[in-house]
Amino acid sequence: MKKRNFLQSALAGAAIALTGLAAQAQVTPIKFQLDWRFEGPSSLFLLPVAKGYFKEAGVDVTVDAGNGSGGAVTRVASGTYDMGFADLAALMEFHANNPDAPNKPVAVMMVYNNTPASVMALKKSGIKTPADLSGKKLGAPVFDAGRRAFPIFAKANNVTGVTWTAMDPPLRETMLARGDVDAITGFTFTSLLNLEARGVKAEDVTVLQYPDYGVKLYGNAIIASPKLIKENPAAVKAFLKAFAKGMKDVIGKPGDAIETVKARDGIINVTLEKRRLELAIDTVINSADARAEGFGQVKGPRLSLMASQVSDAFNTKTRVNADAVWNGSFLPSAAELNVLPAKK
């Protein structure tokens, strides 16, 4: 009897072990490329990693810092990364300039419903409206999303005669603060806080946000490689479901979310990055357009208009095909995408 019980226990233990191994085997590793370094908004992805939401969904996600949306797109296209976070305009540009590329990434969830791009100037410059930018000297890195899309902003607001000064990202706000340029383009939640870090008060800055002046471009989206989509569509669905779950936590408690960024980069200014995250949430995640369209989603006519505008502004080799850059079939249910709080 004892021998039989021992055998039964051993078999049961072996079955449990095999079940555990099978469960581990079903977990899909996903390498994820951010658009920028570890800052407040990175918590959107770092929190579901830290809380185990991704692994619970069956994906083992590794998140790496980036150096721009263009880089995120090309790294996913090259197969170095499975998924990433990138400005939709950068994705559109890649598609239109590389029509024969075998592995063009596609956007699978919209996160920044509005572009975070804006023009910023010191109030003492006299710049108050887009019209005041005509004939002025603007500065930004050559790959800056706001600079690339500036022709769309200029056309919508009849801005002419602008000249550009290029610089590395760390110098952008410094050059504005010391008067080397009249205005800069950049993500609002990046450049405004960087100006404050250089001694410029927020109330002394004129901020012309693109969405407020007729430029309804979508911003950053989660992108995925066609290879992953074809070979493991379930992993894409699992990723987005876990991300949406984490998104609700981040929006609910931004301060707690920043701790996940601190864990990846111990020298960040926690207070500053919490403000950066809150600014991102208020301006481009929980925006009026996002609440109207639904978190994670896009609207066909607006997407088509953006495709046409990017084709013109970026002078792409071929026209952007809006249908080719977006695939919304992996989005979670409406209930799971209900992450945005009511307008305050």
Residue 55 exposed, middle or buried by CB count within 10 Å (0-12, 13-18, 19+):
middle
Write the pLDDT tens digit of every residue in 15-38. 555 444 444 458 999 999 999 999
Same domain, residue pair 44 and 170: no
- Is the same domain home to 202 and 71? no
| Segments forming the whole domain that contains residue 121 | 117-213
Residue 55 domain-assigned (yes or no): yes
In angstroms, what CA-CA distances link 198 with 138, 175, 270, 337? 19, 10, 17, 38
Q: What is the pLDDT of residue 19?
A: 47
pLDDT at 8: 61
Mean pLDDT, residues 79-87 taken together: 97
Q: Classify 119 as helix, strand or coil.
A: strand
In a domain, 283, yes or no: yes
Residues 91-137: tens digit of each pLDDT: 999 999 999 999 999 999 999 999 999 999 999 999 999 999 999 99
**Domain containing residue 209: CATH number:** 3.40.190.10
> Rounded CA gap, 111 and 312, in Å?
24
- The answer on 121 and 106 residing in a single domain is no
Residue 7 falls inside a structural domain: no
Does pLDDT of 45 surpass 80? yes
3 state SS of 184: strand
pLDDT for the residue numbered 6: 54
Q: Tell me the pLDDT tens digit for each residue of 245-284.
A: 999 999 999 999 999 999 999 999 999 999 999 999 999 9
Instruction: Please say if the pLDDT value at position 1 is more than 90.
Output: no
Residues 315 and 250 in one domain: yes
Last residue of a domain, one of 152, 182, 213: 213
Residue 334 scores a pLDDT above 50: yes
Residues 85 and 123 in one domain: no
Q: Which of 157, 183, 213 is the last residue of a domain?
A: 213
* Mean pLDDT for the stretch of residues 143-172: 95
pLDDT digits (tens, 9 = 90+) for 177-216: 999 999 999 999 999 999 999 999 999 999 999 999 999 9
The predicted model scores a pTM of 0.90
Do the domain assignments include residue 272?
A: yes
Closest CA to 307 of 89, 41, 29: 89
Based on the structure, what is the number of domains in the chain?
2
Distance from C-alpha of 315 to C-alpha of 240, rounded to nearest angstrom: 32
Outline where the chain has alpha helix (H). 2-25, 43-50, 53-57, 69-78, 88-97, 145-148, 150-157, 172-177, 188-197, 226-231, 233-252, 254-264, 270-280, 288-293, 300-313, 322-325
Residues 96 and 130 reside in one and the same domain: no
DSSP secondary structure letter of residue 326: B
Q: What is the pLDDT of residues 275-329, one digit of tens each?
A: 999 999 999 999 999 999 999 999 999 999 999 999 999 999 999 999 999 999 9
Residues 32 and 125 in one domain: no
Residues 140 and 279 in one domain: no
Whether 166 and 187 share a structural domain: yes
19 within some domain:
no
Instruction: Report pLDDT for 169.
Output: 92
Cα–Cα distance for residue pair 177/161, rounded to 1 Å: 22
Instruction: Write the CA distances from 143 to 135, 167, 211, 321, integer angstroms.
Output: 22, 10, 20, 22
The reported pLDDT for the residue numbered 241 is: 98
Which comes out higher in pLDDT, residue 23 or 340? 340
Is residue 87 located within the same domain as residue 131? no
**Together in a domain, 110 and 226:** yes
On whether both 34 and 93 belong to a single domain, the answer is: yes
